[in-house]
Amino acid sequence: MLLNTPIENIPLTSSATKRRLKSIGINNFWELLNYFPFRYENYSLISPIDRLQVGEIATIKGKILKVSNAFTKKGFNLQKISISDSSGKIDVNWFNQSYLLRILREGMSLSVAGEVKFFGNTKSFEPREYEILSDENLNQQFIHTARIIPVYSEKNGLSSRLLREKIFRLIMHLNVSRTQDSIPEILPPEIISFNNLPKEIDAYKQIHFPTNLENARKSRERLAFDELFTIQLSAQIVRKEWENEHVGNAFVVDKEKYDLFQRFISNLPFKLTSAQKRVVNEILLDLKQSKPMNRFLEGDVGSGKTVVAAIACYLTYLNGYQSLFMAPTEILANQHFQTLSSLFPTSGVGNTVLKPIETLPSVGLQTGSKKIGTSMQRPLQKRTSDDFDIIVGTHALITKKLKFDRVGLVIVDEQHRFGVVQRAQLKEKGINPHLLTMTATPIPRTVALTIFGELDLSVIDEMPKGRLQVKTFLVPKEKRKSGYEWIKKKIKEEKIQVFIICPLIEESEVETMKTIKAVTKEFERLKKDIFSEFKLGLLHGKVKTKEKEKIMQDFKDKKLDILVATSVVEVGIDIANATIIMIEGAERFGLAQLHQLRGRVGRGDKQSYCLLYTENANEKITERLQLFTRTQNGMQVAEHDLKLRGPGEIFGARQHGYLDLKVASLSDFELIDKSKKAVNYFFSKYSVSNFPEINNRLEEYKTKQISRD
Ligand code: ADP
Ligand code: MG
């Protein structure tokens, strides 16, 4: 099929561009077609030059009368191009784009989209996009002007303009090829008509080059429907497969074990909250089944998920099995190792939060930099993984060539959706354990149940008593300075530490060079002008892993007072001494994401603070942020978020590995519900094996999940 054509074969494209396309995961025509724009610019108003109104955004078409290069008083380099059509003429002013002098020449026909502005006293045109028209024919196909144009997220040196051009040519090519199935339909016709969806082929064309914005919306809805349909269908299939799985041996919880288990719980240094108790019970019931547990545990940062997981590990231990405890980073693995070591101290050694009762499981750490059990925490004669009852590590634990013989439980903390593939990897190692996946991302129950349909859901919706709430303030613009002074005083007097979070600059969800430049500049400014007496660290997505871990470690070791970071950086580490988080450009974050960030502080027993800064005093924004300052519960925050932000907006949790939806939005309950019904209908009436296109999508979805791991 045409769409399987490798990207190497794309015509009129340099090898550098091909390489760049591949570097962002575009390996064939299909993947190029699936690179969707994140917004549009409307340049469809085509205006005669003499009708242009100041403030208007329009496209003009005309002949270049004159090309000149000038310098403004302020030293800007100006490319002034005078254009005329049959109605009149106007100057188009580009700034600092001297390469245009080599491209644009007198006599050429040009189409320019931009804004009409005053330049000094003269009406002139501020260009945004242009394209040269082939000779006299002003009616050719327009790509960058004279229509609604797509704007693509710019990655690895690929400009939106270049992507637009390549995708446009591809769609032209598909049109010419004219085969009915150049973009095949995947759904049965009755599902399409029942849900009032456009055809697949039209959706793909119109999401890139819509004839109007309503069509763009409908196309996006169609492709979002496809996405939700695929995810849910995949979940249903996994759930069905899961029903037929068997663990080696179901756990036994007889009187003796139950007593030990209860004693362990009552020996904890605190009383479990009723939410924790409920979840422990749900897990207990699962573990007694011969079908492996596949449970998803949601709970706010600090709600006490780790203890619940530890209790499950203990029960596993009582049954003679090992537990694997996986964290997303080495630092977090270390942290879990320490927590678990203090919950399960070996007799005489280690922390004595708990008096040793009977025997307790031994805890080992296995990360890239630390071999099993070489931690300083305990004198270890033990060397191999098999000698430990609980093995803590990163997700590499299951991919590494480690052999585990008696694993009964796998715990996955954050960022990892444990799928069919991971399960297969475990099976290759000869195990089919119970599975507990945990997240602090507040995902509303309805959403979680649909999107993670293969999992059973538990929620810890209650915080331990006596926890100090993080005091949250929206800091007015005029108080910025006194805010800095207050932070300085806090650091000096209380020796606390501070996070400063800078937002992503552009609307795309990746960290662009622009963002990195901005955060670096802000870091320099803070270091030089504001916090010169303190030690500052900088973290963003382009910092190498090793360096990143060192900076985090320095922060943990109090070698740094302030950590400046972008939101994409994993700062999930427990730093009890960090009690202030300052968030710049707070309006750019979803509430759920703000809540995640706020969870970085408030981990110790000192009062913590979250300061929100925004340059945008828009009433709606202020209201939304004020609401956040008053809401502490993550689930409530997430629900507000869903209500307040329309579909299509970035959902705070999206950056988490769990939910990287391409087009669909989790706040679009209606579409989620429709697609869920469609999946149920499809399941009752058809078999996936008769739908090769759906099968392809399922495979594609699975591969995407693997490649993310
Ligand atoms: P998270 O859900 O973010 O993983 P943790 O399990 O790390 O939360 O718990 C955060 C802190 O709260 C830990 O220091 C833990 O010992 C403590 N904790 C957990 N449960 C309770 C409880 N029921 N009462 C008091 N403190 C608790
Ligand atoms: Mg945790």
DSSP string, 237-262: HHHHHHHT---SS-----HHHHHHHH
The answer to whether 147 touches 215, Cβ cutoff 8 Å, is no
Q: Which of 564, 598, 631 is the last residue of a domain?
A: 631
**H or E segment to which residue 598 belongs:** helix 591-598
Q: Closest Cα to atom 11, ligand 1: which residue?
A: 302
The CATH number given to whatever domain includes residue 600 is 3.40.50.300
58 pocket-lining for ligand 1 (C-beta < 6 Å): no
Report yes or no on 555 lying in a domain: yes
At 469, which amino acid appears? Answer: Q
Shared domain check, 432 and 308: yes
- The interaxial angle of helices 420-428 and 692-708, nearest 10 deg, is 70
The answer to whether 601 touches 579, Cβ cutoff 8 Å, is yes
Report yes or no on 129 lying in a domain: yes
Shared domain check, 505 and 433: no
Ligand approaching nearest to the C-alpha of 414: 2
275 pocket-lining for ligand 1 (C-beta < 6 Å): no
How many residues appear in the chain? 709
Shared domain check, 627 and 503: yes
Residue 353 confidence class, pLDDT cut points 50, 70, 90: very low
Shared domain check, 587 and 524: yes
On the CB side of 284, CA atoms within 13 Å amount to 16
What gap in Å lies between CA 497 and CA 484, rounded to an integer? 13
The pLDDT tens digits of the residues spanning 140-199 come to 789 999 999 999 988 888 999 999 999 999 999 888 776 656 899 999 999 999 999 999
303 pocket-lining for ligand 1 (C-beta < 6 Å): yes
> Is the pLDDT at 314 greater than 80, yes or no?
yes
> Is the pLDDT at 654 greater than 90, yes or no?
no
Report yes or no on 294 lying in a domain: no
Pick from 296, 303, 603 the residue to mutate for probing ligand 1's pocket: most ligand atoms within 8 Å of its CB: 303
Ligand approaching nearest to the C-alpha of 297: 1
Where is average pLDDT lowest: 296-300, 375-379, 478-482, 576-580? 375-379
Shared domain check, 424 and 281: yes
| Helical residues (DSSP H) of 385-479, grouped into ranges | 396-399, 420-428, 445-451
Q: Closest Cα to atom 20, ligand 1: which residue?
A: 304
Residue 61 confidence class, pLDDT cut points 50, 70, 90: very high
Shared domain check, 406 and 265: yes
What is the pLDDT of the chain when averaged over all its residues?
85
Shared domain check, 17 and 115: no
Residue 303 Cα: closest atom of ligand 1: 2
Report yes or no on 221 lying in a domain: no
Cα dist. 504→508, 571, 587, 659 in Å?
Answer: 8, 16, 11, 19
> Is the pLDDT at 135 greater than 70, yes or no?
no
- CB atoms < 10 A from the CB of 310, how many? 24
Shared domain check, 409 and 308: yes
β-pairing, 434-439 vs 407-413, is: parallel
Report yes or no on 697 lying in a domain: no
β-pairing, 294-299 vs 322-327, is: unpaired
Pick from 265, 279, 297, 306 the residue to mutate for probing ligand 1's pocket: most ligand atoms within 8 Å of its CB: 306
Ligand approaching nearest to the C-alpha of 308: 1
Q: Closest Cα to atom 17, ligand 1: which residue?
A: 304
Where is average pLDDT lowest: 9-23, 107-121, 320-334, 385-399? 385-399
> Is the pLDDT at 673 greater than 70, yes or no?
yes
78 pocket-lining for ligand 1 (C-beta < 6 Å): no
Q: Which of 69, 213, 245 is nearest to 148 (CA)?
A: 213
What gap in Å lies between CA 216 and CA 39, rounded to an integer? 10
Report yes or no on 200 lying in a domain: no
- Placement of tokens 């939806």 in the chain: 661
Cα dist. 419→124, 239, 427, 487 in Å?
Answer: 57, 11, 12, 44
Shared domain check, 57 and 33: no
The overall pTM is greater than 0.85: no
Shared domain check, 595 and 478: yes
Residue 376 backbone phi and psi in degrees, to 5: -75, -10
604 pocket-lining for ligand 1 (C-beta < 6 Å): no
DSSP β-bridge partners for residue 391: 324, 364
Q: Which of 500, 467, 637 is nearest to 578 (CA)?
A: 500
Q: Which of 609, 631, 653 is the last residue of a domain?
A: 631
Taking every pair of Cα atoms in the chain, the longest distance, rounded to a whole number of angstroms, is 95
Ligand approaching nearest to the C-alpha of 306: 1
pLDDT of residue 307: 95
440 pocket-lining for ligand 1 (C-beta < 6 Å): yes
Residue 328 confidence class, pLDDT cut points 50, 70, 90: confident
Torsion of CA 17, 22, 24, 25, to 10 degrees: 150
Q: The tokens of 675 are what?
A: 């697609």
Q: Buried b vs exposed e over 38-73: b needs ≥16 C-beta within 10 Å? A: eebbebbebbebeebeeeebbbbbbbbeebeeeeee
Cα(334) to centroid(ligand 2), Å: 12
Q: Which of 300, 295, 276, 231 is nearest to 592 (CA)?
A: 300
Report yes or no on 84 lying in a domain: yes
Residue 379 confidence class, pLDDT cut points 50, 70, 90: very low
What gap in Å lies between CA 467 and CA 376, rounded to an integer? 31
The answer to whether 648 touches 220, Cβ cutoff 8 Å, is yes
304 pocket-lining for ligand 1 (C-beta < 6 Å): yes
Ligand approaching nearest to the C-alpha of 351: 1
Number of domains in the chain: 4
- CB atoms < 10 A from the CB of 537, how many? 19
Q: Closest Cα to atom 15, ligand 1: which residue?
A: 304
657 pocket-lining for ligand 1 (C-beta < 6 Å): no
pLDDT above 90 as % of the chain: 50
Residue 162 backbone phi and psi in degrees, to 5: -65, -45
Residue 646 confidence class, pLDDT cut points 50, 70, 90: very low
Cα(353) to centroid(ligand 1), Å: 14
Shared domain check, 139 and 162: no
The CATH number given to whatever domain includes residue 88 is 2.40.50.140
Residue span of the structural domain in which 83 resides = 45-146
At 128, which amino acid appears? Answer: R
439 pocket-lining for ligand 1 (C-beta < 6 Å): no
Q: Closest Cα to atom 9, ligand 1: which residue?
A: 304
Residue 243 confidence class, pLDDT cut points 50, 70, 90: confident
Report yes or no on 691 lying in a domain: no
Q: Which of 631, 659, 681 is the last residue of a domain?
A: 631
End-to-end, the C-alpha distance of the chain in Å comes to 29
Shared domain check, 561 and 478: yes
